[in-house]
Structure 1
Amino acid sequence: MQKGLTPATAGLLLLPPMLWAGNAVVGRMMVGLVPPMTLNLLRWVLAFLLLLPLAGSLLRREGPLWPHWRRFAVLGLLGVGCYNALQYLALKTSTPLNVTLVASSTPVFMLGIGAIWFGQRVSRTQVLGATMSVVGVLVVLSRGDWDLLMRVRLVPGDIFILIATAAWAVYSWLLLRPGDPPEIRSDWAAFLMAQIVFGLGWSGLFAAGEWASAPQHVAWGWPVIAALAYVAIGPAVVAYRSWGLGVQRVGPNTAGFFYNLTPLFAALLSAALLGEMPHLYHAAAFVLIVGGILVSSRR
């Protein structure tokens, strides 16, 4: 049952964009060290191993997962198999500015898919909130210089992140569909494990195609090991748990605006790693994005 936006729920929905911002930075650092589809597969293999002690019983032949395999195969395809694989692929073939710009369309996808496929009414306040949020993202991406934004040109990698964004929006709406076995829905580890089980199949299929299409290599070393540990624990297990719970509480439309904080956190993280101090436009963007969240969540 969806409820209003509370401080506790806001905290849940703030954590994923922070972790996903780090995921984008790490994904960019891994370009040339790990192939993108392989990086996604290794990430979810580690996440599977982390969840095994918590939800391993779900894999029993007589367990509640298998009668519902079609639903979890779709969730695994969208949330595990496609989204991050396409993001890593986009970071390889496109610029971070373009990738983040295209991903900022998440609230639009959330509202549009909800209205078209799930019969959800889009209110004026949600449209206003979406506009404020997207403008805030554009302020960050343009660094306060709109001429820079006008010079952005889309490349094939931007198409990958566009498809990933659409997949994530559908995935978030599907989280709300009823009918999951109570023993899976009520246990966050089991619910995520149910998606990973089938998502590993999709991820493995995509990685196999990557290695079959051209020679690949993994530059094993501490940087790669540390990166895999981060993307498996933080953006995968912790972020997906927080996101799923937050979406169940307030719905995909409101949650979609929190997703738009990802580029803001990415900008701040990049600035910290480069030794650059935040600028005034960061504060202006933060006000716009948070304002959009608050406006859109008004009931």
Structure 2
Amino acid sequence: MSAGLVLRGLAVGHRDPSPLRRDRARVVLDGVDAVAARGELTVLLGANGAGKSTLLRTLAGLQPALAGTAALDGTDLLGLRAAQRARRVGVVLTDRPDAGLLTGRDVVELGRLPHTGPAGLLGPADTEAVDAAIDAVRAGPLAGRPLARLSDGERQRIMVARALAQRPSLLLLDEPSAFLDVSSRVALLGLLRRLASESDLAVLLSTHDLEPALRLADRAWLLDGAGGLRTGTPAELASAGAVGAAFDTDELAFDAASGTFRLRL
């Protein structure tokens, strides 16, 4: 297994904002040990409120970890300064961006800011990185169009290209398919798996699209809703009953053999 993201004993949650209680925290996940290898698409699965976004926000540097370590290719990810992290980690969030009059290419070029500095002047290497990112997501026909006129699926391709233009080692995505139709969701997962393999990226994606994620992902991190996390291939987690234990309801049951949910009769 190649280098990538390695978590050891990681605890994430929310610190009390009160000045008198800053030593207190609400722990969401504790003692997390997991690996997201380069060249693989790793999906982060769990019910609402299980801690997916909290974990991703911590890895993206948007909130501090409570304990433990996270290393990226052997470097302390949690200890990186913001500018250093921006060169190593690309992030795509759920929010629909308001890009004003910016074209698709303009948005992708923003991914080079961690390398160009405040002036934002692109050199030949930056232009090459932007072109490569647009080509990687097959968004050439979208580059000259205003972002506001793109469909949700087209817009997400541009946002992934912007993250790729950073030339990161790790790509973090928090529910990137939330506003997409079914076919676009599957296409995005397929795109991310291809990019992980072709660009030797560690890709960690949170999603509620359970069935396609289990079919297309190389590895899965499964939150059990009780502060724990299990890892393995989708087939391993399904056959062990972990998927059903996390997602079965009174009306639906996960069938490990077919990889689908079925109505309870």
What TM-score, normalized to structure 1? 0.25
Q: Which has the higher helix share?
A: 1
TM-score computed with the length of structure 2 as normaliser: 0.27
Q: RCO (CA 8 Å, sep 6+): is it higher in 1 or 2? A: 1
Q: Determine which structure has the larger strand proportion and give its number.
A: 2
